């Protein structure tokens, strides 16, 4: 009986919406975008897709933010997409303004919604949204990096991807940390399983560089992140209680920050598995928190 509102139907937004609706896990969807006719024509495409898949999800397509009501989950992908020559901070200013606008309008009509931010830079955008809305907000965080981590190891070691486990966290993007003590292949620690075949550096380089490489050729990432985001929505909608490396809010000094940690995702968000991380992994996480705090203070000092 889950109703999900999708704010933004651009390249990544469309892919998330399509993928989520095709999963069959949600009953009602609201598709909002400011571009006239875009939600309506995209709805046509979705209706044709759902007809083929025999799925009965109801869709409301709208250009009016006032029609975004009574959602269980509000996922915000609206914003300026990251370009090949941009770092995440370049897009901060443009998108923070968009978040603040939505933070003022969306909560009133969606009193019970969980807010999920996937607009980049995802963690800072979630913190901005939460600050200006006073509503519980998460970001998709490093969940897509988890999948990049696991799929690369699987590919290089020649094993099925579902025997590779492990979590990345900290900052989504360039400042990412890999929690190496969580990484196993068939329960064997990475260093032992990968010995002579694959190094930590090769994995780190792939996980940090692959987005830029994809953007250079395809013009943007979409299929990978969108599927991670679909699976976050489905985990909430079906109360899967699955561990994902999303960014849930934490208090740090005088701010509420979003920093990715392995976290239980279900109808409730949390607890995180921070207490189960190794000392070394926890050190990485704590360093990321401090670094992100400083960056966030710097980025937001002129926000009003």
Binders of its own copies in range 238-297 (CB under 8 A)? 238-244, 264, 266-268, 271, 273, 275-276
> Helix 279-300 vs helix 92-109: angle between axes, to the nearest 10 degrees?
90
Please pick, from the candidates 150, 172, 258, 261, the single residue that binds its own copies as defined by CB under 8 A.
150
Comparison of 77 and 146: residue with beta carbon closer to its own copies: 146
d(CA 110, CA 118): 18
Q: Which residue has the tokens 């901060």?
A: 92
d(CA 3, CA 57): 10
**In the bound complex, what is the minimum distance in angstroms from residue 15's beta carbon to its own copies?**
8
Residues 11-30 within binding reach of its own copies (CB under 8 A): 14, 18-19, 22, 24
**In the bound complex, what is the minimum distance in angstroms from residue 128's beta carbon to its own copies?**
23
Comparison of 51 and 294: residue with beta carbon closer to its own copies: 51
Q: Is 258 a catalytic residue?
A: no
d(CA 286, CA 293): 11
**In the bound complex, what is the minimum distance in angstroms from residue 86's beta carbon to its own copies?**
18
Please pick, from the candidates 127, 143, 177, 260, the single residue that binds its own copies as defined by CB under 8 A.
143
Q: How many amino acids of this chain bind its own copies (CB under 8 A)?
A: 77
Residues 167-226 within binding reach of its own copies (CB under 8 A): 184, 186-187, 210, 213-214, 216-218, 221-226
Comparison of 18 and 293: residue with beta carbon closer to its own copies: 18
d(CA 138, CA 258): 7
Q: Label residue 4 exposed, middle or buried (CB < 10 Å: 0-12, 13-18, 19+).
A: buried
**In the bound complex, what is the minimum distance in angstroms from residue 40's beta carbon to its own copies?**
8
Q: Does residue 42 bind its own copies (CB under 8 A)? A: yes
Please pick, from the candidates 147, 193, 233, 259, the single residue that binds its own copies as defined by CB under 8 A.
147
Residues 54-113 within binding reach of its own copies (CB under 8 A): 54-56, 112
Q: Which residue has the tokens 């998330």?
A: 16
64: left (phi over 0), alpha (psi -120 to 50) or beta: beta
**In the bound complex, what is the minimum distance in angstroms from residue 186's beta carbon to its own copies?**
7
Per DSSP, which regions of 158-300 are E strands? 164-170, 176-185, 188-189, 242-244, 247-252, 255-260, 263-265, 269-272
């Amino acid at each position: 009986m889950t109703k999900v509102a999708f704010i933004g139907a651009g390249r990544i937004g469309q892919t998330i919406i399509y993928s989520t609706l095709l999963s069959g896990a949600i009953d009602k969807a609201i598709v909002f975008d400011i571009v006239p006719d875009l939600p309506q024509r995209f709805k046509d495409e979705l209706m044709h897709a759902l007809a083929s898949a025999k799925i009965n999800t109801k869709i409301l397509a709208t250009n009016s933010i006032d029609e975004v009501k009574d959602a269980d989950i509000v996922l915000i992908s609206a914003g300026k997409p990251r370009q090949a020559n941009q770092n995440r901070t370049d897009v901060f200013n443009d998108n923070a303004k968009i978040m603040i606008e939505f933070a003022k309008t969306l909560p009133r009509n969606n009193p019970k919604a969980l807010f999920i931010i996937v607009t980049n830079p995802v963690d800072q955008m979630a913190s901005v949204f939460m600050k200006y809305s006073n509503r519980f907000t998460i970001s998709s965080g490093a969940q897509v990096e988890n999948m990049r981590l696991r799929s690369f190891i699987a590919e290089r070691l020649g094993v099925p991807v579902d025997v590779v486990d492990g979590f990345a966290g900290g900052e989504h993007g360039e400042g990412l940390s890999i929690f190496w003590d969580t990484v196993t292949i068939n329960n064997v620690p990475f260093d032992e399983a990968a010995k002579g075949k694959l190094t930590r550096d090769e994995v780190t380089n792939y996980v940090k560089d692959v987005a830029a490489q994809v953007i250079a050729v395809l013009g943007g990432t979409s299929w990978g992140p969108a599927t991670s985001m679909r699976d976050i929505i489905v985990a909430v909608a079906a109360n899967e209680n699955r561990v994902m490396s999303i960014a849930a809010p934490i208090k740090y000094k005088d701010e509420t920050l979003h920093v990715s940690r392995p976290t239980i995702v279900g109808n409730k968000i949390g607890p995180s598995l921070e207490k189960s991380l190794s000392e070394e992994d926890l050190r990485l996480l704590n360093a990321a928190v401090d670094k992100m705090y400083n960056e966030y203070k710097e980025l937001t000092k002129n926000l009003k």
